[in-house]
């Protein structure tokens, strides 16, 4: 039975590659590939695990997190993060097998101990705690990147005036959180460079290749034949260390290299009974070995119209695949790798999108894979249709059904009689049209009075002078930096209180009713903000007194002038409440 068989997988622990084994007796064992590694091997019984966690779908790494029960540990720790190193689909398959076996054992152990909590509740609490922690981290990053917002947060939230949730409910700050969250959750794409490990020579003259989990993952993604060789031979015939040592000394390694490739170099490499059976003939014919679907794309006759200039009488070899057949396998490997990179950039695809990608190498059955009996329109029909060749037919309307046609036409004839009996309207309209056609706008003859022009021009110049001079900025020139900072903080806090007040009194119509607070909560919030706004003059007066001490004779007046618009806004809010 499958439940009694041991499970094997290539897994990294603390960035050290190794092999993970789940034995039939339920012992989970991991050992490093390199015996000289400073990471020790560990073992734990499946019933001694308290929970499991897996990485998110689509994450860069396929990981499994083990949580040990109290009184037990994994290599001296309460948790262990294991990363599966195989190609992504293979790694997911391996992880699911381990997860199913371990989850079943954990559930069975908890069923025997009623006092223990369930696996679902543990996973839910851990995920909610992680979600709260990540949200706090994102908010902290936004505050660190905006010093003015950080100062405002300390003033209004740090003092306990408003809650942190109300502070971040502002639309502008919610947009900052969304941008930071998107930046944090952005996934790193695959590298465009082909994995081509080179041996390096150490001081003793030995050739050495540094193998990392990232390198193993890239090799498995780029070379499916290497993935198949690993799955068929590790760990039944070879352990992981021996597998990689023999691979880098085999003809298969030299065949898959992208640099320093030479057929002559393979002749000096000894045969290998394991890796030689995975060798395939070079794809160096003029026609590629991988046949493309003839239904894959339309032929655009104008696509290569301006690719290159005229060649005269000389032969044009632009579209020849290669003069040297030895370069064809490498060119096709680069093209296949580039195509896989473009496909991976699509992210999570639907079944229809995945079928469209498979069509590039599949047959006609992939394109018409639907089991529906309805005639399916090809996806190219819209591209090959020429509108000028289609029969343009007008839209046929529906006849109007009149309940009593006699009365309908009778009322129409009466309206015509009324219209013809009053020809005065028609005469007036003609006379007005004639007078309007004869009117012309002549601005050259327009001459306004001189006093009006002088007054208007003086007002315009005075307004421009005031805007350019900026009296508020002029008055703040001699203000000390620490007092100016207090002034800005007080202004920002007052603006925040006004924003919270009006948001509670007059909520936005675009806000989702299901997520908006109740009327009682809004009234309580408005009353709190109203109490704070009534103390605005006291806060401004405090800053003005400090400024007066620094600038005797002008500090107080300058602060009051700077806060004139803010005080008007506060008075308007207070008068609105008094009027209601």
pLDDT, one tens digit per residue, over 191-227 is: 777 888 888 877 777 778 888 888 888 888 888 889 8
How far apart CA 314 and CA 307 sit, in angstroms, is: 17
Question: 7-112 domain in CATH 2.30.29.30?
Answer: yes
Token pair, residue 82, equals 């294991």
Percent of the chain with pLDDT over 70: 72
Residue 295 has pLDDT above 50, yes or no: no
- The H or E element spanning position 155 is helix 147-156
pLDDT band at residue 420 using 50, 70 and 90 as cut-offs: very low
Residue 424 has pLDDT above 80, yes or no: no
Query: Residue range 53-64: average pLDDT?
Result: 84
Residue 101 has pLDDT above 80, yes or no: yes
Minimum mean pLDDT range among 345-349, 466-470, 471-475? 471-475
Q: Which of 437-441, 519-523, 570-574 has the largest mean confidence? A: 570-574
Domain ranges of the chain: 7-112, 135-185, 200-278, 476-507+516-579
User: Between residues 63 and 345, which one has the greater pLDDT?
Assistant: 63
How far apart CA 334 and CA 320 sit, in angstroms, is: 17
Residue 120 has pLDDT above 50, yes or no: no
**Bridge partners of residue 49, in order along the sequence:** 68
pLDDT given at position 82: 92
pLDDT band at residue 322 using 50, 70 and 90 as cut-offs: low
How far apart CA 299 and CA 575 sit, in angstroms, is: 73
How far apart CA 246 and CA 275 sit, in angstroms, is: 8
How far apart CA 13 and CA 19 sit, in angstroms, is: 9
DSSP annotation of 9 reads E
User: Between residues 490 and 298, which one has the greater pLDDT?
Assistant: 490
Q: State pTM to two decimals.
A: 0.41
**How many other CB atoms are found less than 10 A from the CB of residue 9?**
25
pLDDT, one tens digit per residue, over 364-396 is: 334 444 444 545 555 566 667 777 777 777 667
**How many other CB atoms are found less than 10 A from the CB of residue 204?**
6
Contact 282, 351 (CB under 8 A): no
User: Between residues 508 and 306, which one has the greater pLDDT?
Assistant: 508
User: Between residues 268 and 232, which one has the greater pLDDT?
Assistant: 232
With the C-alpha atoms ordered 549, 550, 553, 558, is the resulting torsion angle positive or negative?
negative
Contact 101, 94 (CB under 8 A): no
């Amino acid at each position: 039975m499958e439940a009694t068989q041991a499970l094997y997988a290539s897994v990294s622990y603390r960035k050290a590659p190794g092999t993970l084994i789940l034995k039939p007796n339920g012992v989970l064992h991991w050992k490093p590939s390199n015996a000289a590694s400073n990471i020790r091997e560990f073992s734990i019984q499946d019933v001694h695990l308290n929970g499991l966690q897996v990485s998110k779908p689509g994450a860069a790494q396929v990981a499994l997190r083990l949580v040990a029960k109290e009184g037990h540990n994994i290599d001296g720790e309460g948790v262990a993060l294991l990363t599966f190193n195989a190609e992504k689909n293979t790694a997911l398959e391996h992880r699911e097998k381990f997860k199913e076996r371990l989850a079943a054992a954990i559930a069975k152990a908890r069923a025997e101990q009623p006092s223990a909590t369930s696996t679902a509740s543990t996973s839910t609490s851990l995920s909610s705690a992680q979600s709260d922690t990540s949200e706090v981290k994102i908010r902290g990053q936004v505050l660190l990147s905006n010093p003015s917002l950080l100062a405002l947060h300390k003033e209004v939230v740090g003092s306990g005036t408003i809650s942190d949730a109300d502070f971040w409910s502002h639309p502008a700050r919610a947009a900052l959180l969304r941008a930071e969250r998107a930046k944090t959750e952005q996934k790193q794409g695959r590298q465009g460079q082909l994995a081509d490990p080179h041996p390096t020579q150490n001081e003793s003259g030995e050739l050495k290749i540094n193998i990392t989990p990232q390198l193993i993952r890239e090799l498995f993604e780029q070379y499916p034949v290497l993935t198949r060789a690993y799955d068929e031979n590790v760990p039944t015939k070879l352990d992981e260390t021996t597998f990689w040592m023999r691979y880098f000394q085999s003809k298969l390694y030299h065949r898959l290299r992208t640099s320093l490739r030479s057929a002559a170099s393979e002749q000096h490499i000894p045969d290998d009974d394991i890796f030689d059976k995975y060798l395939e003939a070079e794809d160096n014919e003029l026609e590629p070995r991988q046949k493309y679907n003839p239904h894959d794309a339309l032929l655009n006759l104008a696509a290569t119209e301006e690719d290159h200039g005229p060649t005269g009488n000389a032969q044009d070899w632009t579209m020849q695949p290669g003069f040297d057949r030895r370069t064809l396998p490498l060119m096709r490997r680069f093209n296949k790798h580039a195509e896989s990179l473009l496909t991976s950039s699509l992210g999570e695809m639907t079944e229809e999108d995945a079928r469209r990608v498979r069509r590039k190498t599949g047959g006609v059955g992939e394109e018409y894979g639907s089991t529906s009996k309805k005639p399916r329109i090809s996806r190219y029909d819209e591209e090959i249709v020429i509108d000028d060749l289609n029969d343009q037919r007008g839209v046929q309307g529906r006849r109007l059904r009149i309940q009593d046609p006699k009365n309908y036409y009778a009322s129409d004839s009466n309206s015509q009689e009324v219209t013809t009996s009053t020809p005065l309207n028609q005469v007036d309209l003609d006379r007005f049209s004639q007078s309007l056609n004869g009117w012309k706008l002549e601005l050259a003859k327009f001459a306004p009075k001189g006093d009006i022009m002088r007054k208007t021009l003086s007002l315009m110049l005075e307004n421009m002078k005031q805007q350019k001079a900026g009296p508020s900025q002029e008055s703040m020139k001699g203000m000390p930096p620490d007092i100016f900072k207090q002034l800005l903080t007080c202004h920002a806090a007052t603006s925040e209180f006004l924003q919270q007040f009006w948001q509670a009194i007059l909520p936005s119509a675009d806000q989702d009713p299901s997520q908006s607070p109740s009327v009682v909560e809004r009234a309580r919030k408005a009353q709190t903000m109203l109490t704070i706004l009534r103390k605005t003059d006291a806060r401004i007066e405090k800053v003005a007194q400090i400024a007066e001490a620094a600038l005797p004779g002008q500090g107080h007046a300058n602060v009051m002038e700077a806060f004139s618009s803010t005080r008007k806004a506060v008075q308007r809010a207070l008068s609105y409440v008094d009027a209601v």
